Chain A
Amino acid sequence: MHTLSVAELSKSLKNKEFSSVELTQHYLDRINRSDLNAFITVTDELALSQARAADAKLANGSGSVLTGIPFAHKDIFCTKGVKTSAGSKILDPFISPYDATLSHKLNIENMVMLGKTNMDEFAMGSSNENSFYGPVKNPWNKKMVPGGSSGGSAAAVAGRLSPFATGTDTGGSIRQPSSLCGITGIKPTYGRVSRYGMIAYASSLDQAGPMTQTAEDAALVLNAIAGFDEKDSTSALRDVPDYTKSLRDSIKGLKIGIPKEFFSDGLDSSVEKVITESMKEFEAMGAELQQISLPNSAYAIPTYYIIAPCECSSNLSRLDGVRYGYRCKDPKDLNDLYLRSRSEGFGDEVKRRIMIGTYALSAGYYDAYYLKAQKVRQLISEDFKKAFQNVDIIMGPVSPTTAFELGAIKDPVSMYLADIYTLSANLAGLPGMSIPAGFSNNLPVGLQMIGNYWSEEVLLNAAHQFQTQTDWHSVLPENI
């Protein structure tokens, strides 16, 4: 049953082919046998009790389409009574006393949380190697990284340890691991899903979304998690459509823009080949391709690596060893408490970004870095605005390469290049998606689709149509 999609599982549960408890136990067994290190915490008991509650609902017919479906929750979402670590030593002792809005929304659907997935510490990374809990292995090749920061979620779905998983995307953290693990992932428009209870990395960029096997599943989950939240001032007071409704619409006449900047020198030629092939598929379905230009996207990396560190340097200040989380042993005085709790509690990449951000916000540097970056960010958004006057959707690669070997990239700046094509969507606040589009050397390649603001329906529709014509999304890694 672990090869079934959420939509299929939903039907099976409704038809009593198996119970949620049986389904949950099946996944828990798979997780226990797995060596992917995809989970930080497995919540066996909680999952089974949630499954029993779901079965009761299903029995009396009051369940929703998602009732009883197990899922894996990125360990960045606060879950009441369950460890919420964000992949960091500094939050290793933290048991959240409250539920994130997104956690709550899945709870009220009577879904079943299997556990909390591994991730790059505080969502900072593109390989999942920055986790206090060790790296996650890519189910397609266990010598390879799964991508990051939602690497545990991507590996869990690709390895069929969970029907779907939640993720967050600040610079590509849903799309890049989805691409590297061959699953479907969508980062909605900034403000579409509440950020309340999602541990902040860079507040103006962070957005949560589903990581699934299919676009249809993504639509089902997005239906449940999208919407205004009075606890998040940046969430949009805007109606949520039924994302499953337009999935089956024809995409004949869909105008696809292909930015020439996304096919730069750094792009692996085998990846490029897969992307070009998938474009032809869209053309065959009646879509119209045209080349476009996003001239300022070249500045996405430096812009992102100013804004995100600035925000994170402030967001992570609350982790001071005073009220919760890790505290160093026998602090001599207050300064020592701060210094050692944070030095011992944070990993290298997190410290690097805190230092960059602290520096960039300092008196005398603020204008040159933060303000300048905000201006460039505006220009990047303007590029998209112009492009969307002529096209409905923008497509290109998610990442310049397929999954790389664990430990292969040591230089942080080289690692930053893994997100070169995904950062702009976050900077502009646009929805972005990754769907399986083919393989290169037996490793999956993802196609990126970027839509206009609030056009998740367009993305999901195009993705679903692609998935009706191709079966890249249903190819399984070996031994699954």
Chain B
Amino acid sequence: MAWETVIGLEIHSQLNTKSKIFSGASTEFGAEPNTQACAVDLGLPGVLPVLNKEVVNMALRFGLAVNAKINQHSIFARKNYFYPDLPKGYQISQFEIPIVGKGAIDISTEEGGVKMVGITRAHLEEDAGKSIHDLYEDHSAIDFNRAGTPLLEIVSEPDMRSAKEAVTYAKKIHALVQYIGICDGNMQEGSFRCDANVSIRKKGSKKLGTRAELKNINSFKFLEKAINIEIERQQDILEDGGEVVQETRLYDAVKNETRSMRTKEEANDYRYFPDPDLLPVDIEDEMLTEIKNSLPELPTEKKNRFISEIGLSDYDAENLTAQKSLADYYEAMLNDGAEAKLSANWVMGELSAALNKNQIDVQDSPISARELSELVKRISDDTISGKIAKDVFKAMWKGNGRVDDIIESQGLKQMTDVAAIEDIIDGIIANNIEQVEQFKAGNTKLLGYFVGQVMKATQGKANPKQVNKILNDKLS
């Protein structure tokens, strides 16, 4: 039977404010446990929350970036449930009226098209603390440093139809929140977390199937795996005549499986109601205009500009703008005067490969944008060939100095002396009479052989363009 997959994502994006959403405590990651939790974060008797205005600003930046309806009057609500790392016994969140209403974002499809994914809402809420179960043998520990960290929960419509599509959407949101400077996007530290609602239905059916909510996914790779494994699980159930149960399932990356955490029956009744300790959030028109004007160029805009102004392909432009830090790096190279297309090839080629191999973020690259642009310039001005440039890049990566110093000290400068190249070519022609005759008889493929010989003789330093031209002249 043909099945259709339906996926919606709930993304928790940690807003990178200095202090917490309702207290003055720091949000810095990695501090000693419970050193960044004040009376408010600990939920002591009598304490009250005070809204950090910066989070409103950030939520609005996101809302405007996805062309969403902004609710200029939104309210905070209490989500009531008991858990040891939830200090107050309720989480302050938004329920009926979130600050960001319906919006949408375009993603590229595998077929090369564009698809619009709806955003249902985005609301502000506080994070809980962290339960630690493996520190002590006989009891659990709690670190409240994270309690009260601001989150923007971004809820999508069930618009995705495959795990790949879901990943593309998640990556797009991941890029966007970094572009607009509201989240550092660090998935390892939990700054960007995805929960996936997955269901399947018979192809052609309009009715949604029963969904499972997948939690505990901390990378895009696992997002794809978790969804695919869940689709398989649901198909097996349905094809065996069973029924999918609405439940929350935990993804186990080690075993690559999902496990039931709680079913709908076990789910909490959160008893949402407006938080009487906080005033409604009212937003003036002027504030919206101000924020709109302050938004930077967004990924889609940047991509379109790369295509229309620089002439990059859709593919290149998409890749270069997928990550703000990469786009920033690339644009810094252009500002340094490096040639656009060549720079694009180097950023996506050698640089990205080296970064991936060493698992380094582009902002921590040992080769700066300025240094790479110097290398690209040396290719453009024929000082070195692209092939030699790869060796120079390796030397730069190892920290062996700047471009020109490496070229100079290792004698990598390209041979551009026509007479010297002609001498070498004459010698090669003289030593390969048989091949010359074959070439003249029409086997033009042999040009590559001659080029190879020249490069071998010059240790790759001859200018390939010149070599080609002289060879063609002499052999014709």
Residues of A near any B CB (own CB < 8 A) = 77-78, 84, 86, 91, 94, 96-98, 100, 195-200, 202-204, 230-234, 310-311, 313-314, 316-320, 322-324, 334, 338, 358, 361-363, 366, 370
Give the residue of A77, A94, A202, A317 whose beta carbon is less than 8 angstroms from that of B80: A317
Residue pair B45, A199 in contact (C-beta under 8 Å)? yes
Q: Chain A nearest CB: distance from B328 CB in Å?
A: 38
Residue pair B45, A94 in contact (C-beta under 8 Å)? yes
Q: Which residues of B contact A317 (CB under 8 A)?
A: 80, 82, 88-90
A-contact 0/1 string along B41-62, CB 8 Å cutoff:
0111111111100000000000
Segment of B251-259, B275-283, B423-431 in the binding face: B275-283
Give the residue of B42, B49, B269, B277 whose beta carbon is less than 8 angstroms from that of A323: B42
Residue pair A363, B269 in contact (C-beta under 8 Å)? yes
CA A199 – CA B78 in complex, angstroms? Answer: 18
Knowing A317-B80, A358-B271, the reply to whether A311 touches B45 (Cβ < 8 A) is no
Which B-chain residue is minimally distant from A364 (CB atoms)? B269
Q: Chain A nearest CB: distance from B56 CB in Å?
A: 13
Residue pair B271, A362 in contact (C-beta under 8 Å)? yes
Residue pair A310, B273 in contact (C-beta under 8 Å)? yes
Residue pair A318, B271 in contact (C-beta under 8 Å)? no
CA A86 – CA B44 in complex, angstroms? Answer: 13
Q: Which residues of B contact A361 (CB under 8 A)?
A: 80, 271-273
Which A-chain residue is minimally distant from B38 (CB atoms)? A98
Residue pair B269, A91 in contact (C-beta under 8 Å)? no
19 A-B pairs with C-beta separation under 8 A: A94-B45, A195-B46, A196-B46, A196-B48, A197-B46, A199-B45, A231-B48, A233-B49, A233-B51, A233-B279, A234-B276, A314-B78, A317-B90, A318-B43, A318-B45, A318-B88, A320-B84, A320-B89, A366-B272
CA A314 – CA B272 in complex, angstroms? Answer: 10
B39 contacts the other chain (CB 8 A): yes
> 17 other contacts beyond A233-B279, A317-B80, A317-B88, with CB at 8 A cut-off?
A195-B46, A196-B47, A196-B48, A200-B45, A203-B276, A204-B276, A234-B276, A314-B271, A316-B89, A317-B90, A318-B43, A318-B87, A323-B43, A338-B82, A361-B271, A362-B269, A366-B273
Q: Chain A nearest CB: distance from B87 CB in Å?
A: 6
Q: Which residues of A contact B48 (CB under 8 A)?
A: 195-196, 231-234
Residue pair A200, B271 in contact (C-beta under 8 Å)? no
Which A-chain residue is minimally distant from B144 (CB atoms)? A323
Q: Which residues of B contact A96 (CB under 8 A)?
A: 44-46
Residue from the set A198, A317, A319, A362 with the largest chain B CB neighbour count within 10 Å: A317
Residue pair B87, A234 in contact (C-beta under 8 Å)? no
Residue pair A322, B84 in contact (C-beta under 8 Å)? yes
Residues of B near any A CB (own CB < 8 A) = 39, 42-51, 78, 80, 82, 84, 87-90, 142, 269, 271-273, 276-279
CA A317 – CA B43 in complex, angstroms? Answer: 10
Residue from the set B45, B87, B269, B278 with the largest chain A CB neighbour count within 10 Å: B45
Q: Chain B nearest CB: distance from A120 CB in Å?
A: 16
Q: Which residues of B contact A203 (CB under 8 A)?
A: 276-277
Which B-chain residue is minimally distant from A203 (CB atoms)? B276
Residue pair A78, B45 in contact (C-beta under 8 Å)? yes
Residue pair A100, B46 in contact (C-beta under 8 Å)? yes
Q: Which residues of A contact B78 (CB under 8 A)?
A: 314
Knowing A317-B80, A317-B82, the reply to whether A231 touches B50 (Cβ < 8 A) is yes
Q: Chain A nearest CB: distance from B24 CB in Å?
A: 10
CA A363 – CA B78 in complex, angstroms? Answer: 14
Q: Which residues of A contact B42 (CB under 8 A)?
A: 323
Give the residue of A86, A204, A314, A322 whose beta carbon is less than 8 angstroms from that of B45: A86
Residue pair B89, A318 in contact (C-beta under 8 Å)? yes
CA A370 – CA B278 in complex, angstroms? Answer: 18
CA A236 – CA B400 in complex, angstroms? Answer: 65
Query: Which DSSP category, helix, strand, loop or mixed, fits chain A's interface?
Result: loop
Residue pair A234, B279 in contact (C-beta under 8 Å)? yes
Which B-chain residue is minimally distant from A310 (CB atoms)? B273
Residue from the set B46, B48, B50, B142 with the largest chain A CB neighbour count within 10 Å: B46
Residue pair B90, A324 in contact (C-beta under 8 Å)? no
Q: Which residues of A contact B88 (CB under 8 A)?
A: 317-318
Q: Chain A nearest CB: distance from B346 CB in Å?
A: 53
3 smallest beta-carbon distances between A and B, as pairs: A317-B89, A361-B271, A204-B276
Q: Which residues of A contact B80 (CB under 8 A)?
A: 313-314, 317, 361
Give the residue of B46, B142, B278 whose beta carbon is less than 8 angstroms from that of A78: B46
Q: Which residues of A contact B279 (CB under 8 A)?
A: 233-234
CA A204 – CA B276 in complex, angstroms? Answer: 5
Residue from the set A100, A231, A311, A314 with the largest chain B CB neighbour count within 10 Å: A314
Residue pair A230, B50 in contact (C-beta under 8 Å)? yes
CA A310 – CA B84 in complex, angstroms? Answer: 22
Which B-chain residue is minimally distant from A232 (CB atoms)? B48
Which B-chain residue is minimally distant from A91 (CB atoms)? B45
CA A77 – CA B84 in complex, angstroms? Answer: 25
Q: Which residues of B contact A310 (CB under 8 A)?
A: 273
Which B-chain residue is minimally distant from A307 (CB atoms)? B276
Residue pair A98, B273 in contact (C-beta under 8 Å)? no
Q: Chain A nearest CB: distance from B140 CB in Å?
A: 9
Residue pair A233, B89 in contact (C-beta under 8 Å)? no
CA A330 – CA B257 in complex, angstroms? Answer: 36
Residue pair B87, A98 in contact (C-beta under 8 Å)? no
Q: Which residues of B contact A84 (CB under 8 A)?
A: 45-46
Residue pair A97, B46 in contact (C-beta under 8 Å)? no
Residue pair B84, A324 in contact (C-beta under 8 Å)? no
Which B-chain residue is minimally distant from A77 (CB atoms)? B46
Knowing A204-B276, A320-B89, the reply to whether A97 touches B271 (Cβ < 8 A) is no
Which B-chain residue is minimally distant from A86 (CB atoms)? B45
Residue from the set A78, A199, A233 with the largest chain B CB neighbour count within 10 Å: A233
CA A361 – CA B79 in complex, angstroms? Answer: 11
Q: Chain A nearest CB: distance from B217 CB in Å?
A: 25
CA A154 – CA B271 in complex, angstroms? Answer: 36
Q: Chain B nearest CB: distance from A234 CB in Å?
A: 7
Knowing A97-B39, A98-B44, A196-B47, the reply to whether A234 touches B277 (Cβ < 8 A) is yes
Residue from the set A96, A97, A98 with the largest chain B CB neighbour count within 10 Å: A98
Q: Chain A nearest CB: distance from B83 CB in Å?
A: 9
CA A86 – CA B45 in complex, angstroms? Answer: 10
CA A310 – CA B274 in complex, angstroms? Answer: 11
Give the residue of B39, B47, B278 whose beta carbon is less than 8 angstroms from that of A233: B278
Residue pair B273, A314 in contact (C-beta under 8 Å)? yes
CA A197 – CA B273 in complex, angstroms? Answer: 22
Which A-chain residue is minimally distant from B79 (CB atoms)? A314
Q: Which residues of B contact A358 (CB under 8 A)?
A: 271
CA A198 – CA B47 in complex, angstroms? Answer: 8
Residue pair A314, B89 in contact (C-beta under 8 Å)? yes
CA A317 – CA B81 in complex, angstroms? Answer: 8
Q: Chain B nearest CB: distance from A335 CB in Å?
A: 9
